[in-house]
Amino acid sequence: MTFGSRYAAALSERGRLCAGIDPHASLLHAWGLDDDVAGLERFALTAVEALAPHVPVIKPQSAFYERFGSRGVAVLERVIAESRAAGALVLLDAKRGDIGSTSQAYADAYLDPSSPLACDAVTVSAFLGFGSLTPFVETAAKHDAGLFVLALTSNKEGPEVQHATVEDGRSLGRVMLDHLRRLNDAEEPLGSFGAVVGATIGGVDGAGVAYDFGFNGPILAPGFGQQGGTPADLARIFGAANANVVASTSRGLLRKGPDTAALRDEALRLRDELG
């Protein structure tokens, strides 16, 4: 099955909540753990045990594992493998973007099944030009994996780039969505090339023109829950494409640990809230 098919099936079966597993030092301390590899492992695998059987998508943030070096990356490998074994799709939040052979090496690391870091999809940045993502696109297609391209992020610095316009007047955010529309054309039930769009954006570009999110692909909406995004915001921003949105939360959810039952129950509550 293509990633788009697996994604559509996962949302149908498990709802629309994406659980981020981001081992911030502050969260490790809040769980009574040391900020070291042992604490990282206990934190991350407890979260996997509690969440991966119940949500459609697990999203580990690579940086919080990389900061511990090779031993931290080894923990990330276990998070990926055990989450997938529990039936969740794994979206690695790595936000990679480069050119040529370097881009290909990143694609092989995260999307080739022979890699110990292989996952279902990865976040990527196209701000070296959308064509720079060609190795990612081709590798994802070869291995039935997916991409989530940064398009309209909710950080306050984002608009200076994402609302900038090209010669034909389109904003760069709109350009990203148009590229995805072409990649996903005629794919059923859904294309495999998605966008990252914040759950708290206004839904319009710098000129006040509403975005069209009907690009026939998955949408990752960070910022749900504690960061302020609500189900009403998702419906307002995405309209008819809201059914393709998986809303992401991490710290707000993870603060319910280390009790696995509390983590699971909060995830189920948020999943039900999303509908």
Longest dimension (CA), the chain: 54
In the chain, % helix, strand, coil (3-state, to 5) comes to 45, 20, 35
Question: What type of residue is 204?
Answer: V
pLDDT in the model for residue 205: 82
Q: Considering 95, 142, 156, 256, which one is annotated as catalytic? A: 95
Backbone angles phi, psi at 97, to 5 degrees: -170, 120
Helices (H) and strands (E) in the chain, counts: 12, 8
Residue 171 burial class via C-beta count within 10 angstroms: exposed 0-12, middle 13-18, buried 19 and up: buried
The answer to whether the pTM exceeds 0.85 is yes
| pLDDT per residue of the chain (275 residues) written in tens, 0 to 9 | 999 999 999 999 999 999 999 999 999 999 999 999 999 999 999 999 999 999 999 999 999 999 999 999 999 999 999 999 999 999 999 999 999 999 999 999 999 999 999 999 999 999 899 999 999 999 999 999 999 999 999 888 998 999 999 999 999 999 999 999 999 999 999 999 999 999 988 888 877 888 999 999 999 999 997 777 899 999 999 999 999 999 999 999 999 999 999 999 999 999 999 98
The answer to whether residue 95 is catalytic is: yes
| Helix, strand or coil, per DSSP, at residue 68 | coil
How far is residue 272's CA from residue 275's CA, in Å, rounded to a whole number? 5
Annotate 175-202 with b (16+ C-beta within 10 A) or e (fewer).
bbbebbbebbeeeeebbbbbbbbbbbbe
DSSP output for 159-226: HHHHT-B-TTS-BHHHHHHHHHHHHTTT-SS--SEEEEE-TTS-SB-TTSPBP---SSS-EEEE-BST
Alpha-carbon distance values, 258 to 37, 87, 154 (Å):
16, 22, 29
Q: Which domains does the chain have, with CATH numbers?
A: 3-274 (3.20.20.70)
